[in-house]
């Protein structure tokens, strides 16, 4: 009975702990941001300064973790040339800091539930920015999705009980920047060679720029040297310790959420992530209603439902498009190769420019650590399939996520649902290798 039970668990419940952690830490982080920054709660006077502390902690965590655990890819970041490092880190970090900063400022003025509904419009801006930069082409189905989400947002705004124009403008601008963020991240990190191996390596690359960008914004906008002395946050060593601990608590919640997300990215499928992302946003709205007394009227709820339908439609359309592209890639491979063609370990076919082969936690290794010379000859293939941004299809809310969502203040994490795994490509690679191994030495010699 033990084996059937274990099999049933692996089939149906293996993602449950990670999902529970994802939901829990996301809800706690959302509640934390609203509680600390909301003008009807703690009303911390410098939300941008506190958020910069979150980024600083993430930077330190990523640096230490990737230094002690080489598999996380810290060496790749450390060995980058300054030109490469700055060209990737600066634009991604600045856009991320603006997105997160405006999001946290909007939470000062609007409810958590309304914030989540507005941020759910991020796919519209992802498509707009991707189209503007030539990454995505507009199709009738995508236009329908954009229209559906826009109608839902309109109903949501009309139904908002305590509408705040400035808060809504800040949140909508943050949604636009969120779409820009994932497009810029894809453009910049996709071309890195060798690619980044993990979320921790990505965090190590982006967090410094995020920290300094957010710190500059805080100094320019909030002027903490004028505001904080008049408050009680640093009156004594004890209160100063409480204030710093408050900031560290938010950083710990953000890092914990990121780690749960990364596990799900590596282990689960796009469909599972899509469902989980929508549920997570609903959980956040529920937290706003229960914990903070956010009010929702029928028009508001209808708008929210329309937005979520649009988001789900976006994810399904994106997923079907990628499946069609993969099928075309399979047909192309079969038309240009023979079953008994000798396939070298480093000559496995790639179905499209976004597909790579490598080794992962849940796939067999196709490269040995000792084969440094061969790896250097084939840098594109030497990628960590589930750890590099280039192995996922674009995005969050990424592409909506690649969500490598380093510090999304509330929930917009549908992003993960648009990440695609290259499992089909890996299986094709394995089949080609198996076919090659079935050919005896004599046949191999003749074919060569």
Is pLDDT of 188 > 80? yes
Q: Residue 9 falls within a domain, yes or no?
A: no
Q: Residue 22 falls within a domain, yes or no?
A: yes
Q: Residue 7 falls within a domain, yes or no?
A: no
User: Which of 21, 23, 3 minimizes the C-alpha distance to 285?
Assistant: 23
Q: Residue 6 falls within a domain, yes or no?
A: no
Number of domains in the chain: 1
Q: Residue 2 falls within a domain, yes or no?
A: no
Residues in contact with 328: Cβ distance below 8 Å, sequence separation at least 6, in sequence order: none
Q: Residue 319 falls within a domain, yes or no?
A: yes
Structure tokens at 162: 């305590």
pLDDT value of position 19: 86
Quick check: helix, strand or coil at residue 368?
coil
Please give the DSSP secondary-structure letter assigned to residue 352. Answer: S
Is pLDDT of 441 > 50? no
pLDDT value of position 194: 81
Is pLDDT of 444 > 90? no
Q: What is the pLDDT of residues 381-407, one digit of tens each?
A: 333 333 333 333 333 333 333 344 444
Is pLDDT of 368 > 50? no
pLDDT value of position 169: 95
Q: Residue 1 falls within a domain, yes or no?
A: no
pLDDT value of position 110: 93
Query: What is the C-alpha separation between 170 and 289, in angstroms, rounded?
Result: 21
pLDDT value of position 64: 95
On whether the CB atoms of residues 103 and 410 are closer than 8 A, the answer is: yes
Q: What is the pLDDT of residues 119-178, one digit of tens each?
A: 888 878 888 888 887 777 777 888 888 888 888 888 888 888 788 999 999 999 999 998
pTM over 0.85: no
Q: Tell me the average pLDDT of the chain.
A: 74
Is pLDDT of 412 > 50? no
User: Which of 91, 413, 71, 77 minimizes the C-alpha distance to 254?
Assistant: 413
Q: Residue 313 falls within a domain, yes or no?
A: yes
Query: Which structural domain range is residue 20 located in?
Result: 15-447
pLDDT value of position 329: 75
Say which residue, 302 or 354, is predicted with more confidence. 302
Residues in contact with 153: Cβ distance below 8 Å, sequence separation at least 6, in sequence order: 117, 118, 121, 303, 307
Q: What is the pLDDT of residues 246-303, one digit of tens each?
A: 999 999 999 998 888 777 766 766 666 767 777 888 888 888 988 898 888 888 888 8
pLDDT value of position 8: 54
Say which residue, 367 or 213, is predicted with more confidence. 213
User: Which of 47, 40, 23 minimizes the C-alpha distance to 111?
Assistant: 40
Say which residue the tokens 């969050």 belong to: 396
Say which residue, 305 or 338, is predicted with more confidence. 305
């Amino acid at each position: 009975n033990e084996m059937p039970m274990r099999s049933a668990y692996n089939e149906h419940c293996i993602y449950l702990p990670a999902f529970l952690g994802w939901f829990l830490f996301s809800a706690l982080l959302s509640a934390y941001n609203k509680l600390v920054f909301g003008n009807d709660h703690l009303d911390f006077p410098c939300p941008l300064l506190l958020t910069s502390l979150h980024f600083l902690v993430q930077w330190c965590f990523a640096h230490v973790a990737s230094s002690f655990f080489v598999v996380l890819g810290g060496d790749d970041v450390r060995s980058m040339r300054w030109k490469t490092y700055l060209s990737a880190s600066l634009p991604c970090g600045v856009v991320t800091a603006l997105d997160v900063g405006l999001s946290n400022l909007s939470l000062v003025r609007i409810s958590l539930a309304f914030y989540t509904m507005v941020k759910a419009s991020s796919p519209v801006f992802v498509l707009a920015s991707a189209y503007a930069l030539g990454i995505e082409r507009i199709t009738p189905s995508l236009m329908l999705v954009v229209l559906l989400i826009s109608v839902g947002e309109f109903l949501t705004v009309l139904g908002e009980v305590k509408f705040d124009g400035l808060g809504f403008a800040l949140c909508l601008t943050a949604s636009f920047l969120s779409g820009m963020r994932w497009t810029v991240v894809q453009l910049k990190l996709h071309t890195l060679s060798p690619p980044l191996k993990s979320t921790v390596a990505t965090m190590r690359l982006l967090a410094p720029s995020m920290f300094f960008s957010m710190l500059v914004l805080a100094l320019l906008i909030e002027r903490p040297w004028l505001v904080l002395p008049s408050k009680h946050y640093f009156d004594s060593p004890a209160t100063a310790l409480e204030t710093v601990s408050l900031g560290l608590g938010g950083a710990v919640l953000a890092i914990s959420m990121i780690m749960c997300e990364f596990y799900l990215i590596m282990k689960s499928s796009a469909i599972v992530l899509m469902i989980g992302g929508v549920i997570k946003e609903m959980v956040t709205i529920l937290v706003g209603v229960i914990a903070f007394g956010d009010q929702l009227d029928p028009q508001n709820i209808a708008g929210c439902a329309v937005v979520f339908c649009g988001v789900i439609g976006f994810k399904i359309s994106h997923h079907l498009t990628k499946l069609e592209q993969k099928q075309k890639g399979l047909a192309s491979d079969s038309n240009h190769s023979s079953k008994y063609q000798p396939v070298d370990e480093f000559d496995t076919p790639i179905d499209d420019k976004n597909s790579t082969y490598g080794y992962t936690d849940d796939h067999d290794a196709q490269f040995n650590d000792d084969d440094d010379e061969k790896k250097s000859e084939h840098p594109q293939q030497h990628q960590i399939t589930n750890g590099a941004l280039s192995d996922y299809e674009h995005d969050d809310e990424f592409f909506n996520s690649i969500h490598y969502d380093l510090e999304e203040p509330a929930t917009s994490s549908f992003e993960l649902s648009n990440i695609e795994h290259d499992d089909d490509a890996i299986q094709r690679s394995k089949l080609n290798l198996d076919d090659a191994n079935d050919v005896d030495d004599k046949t191999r010699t003749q074919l060569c």
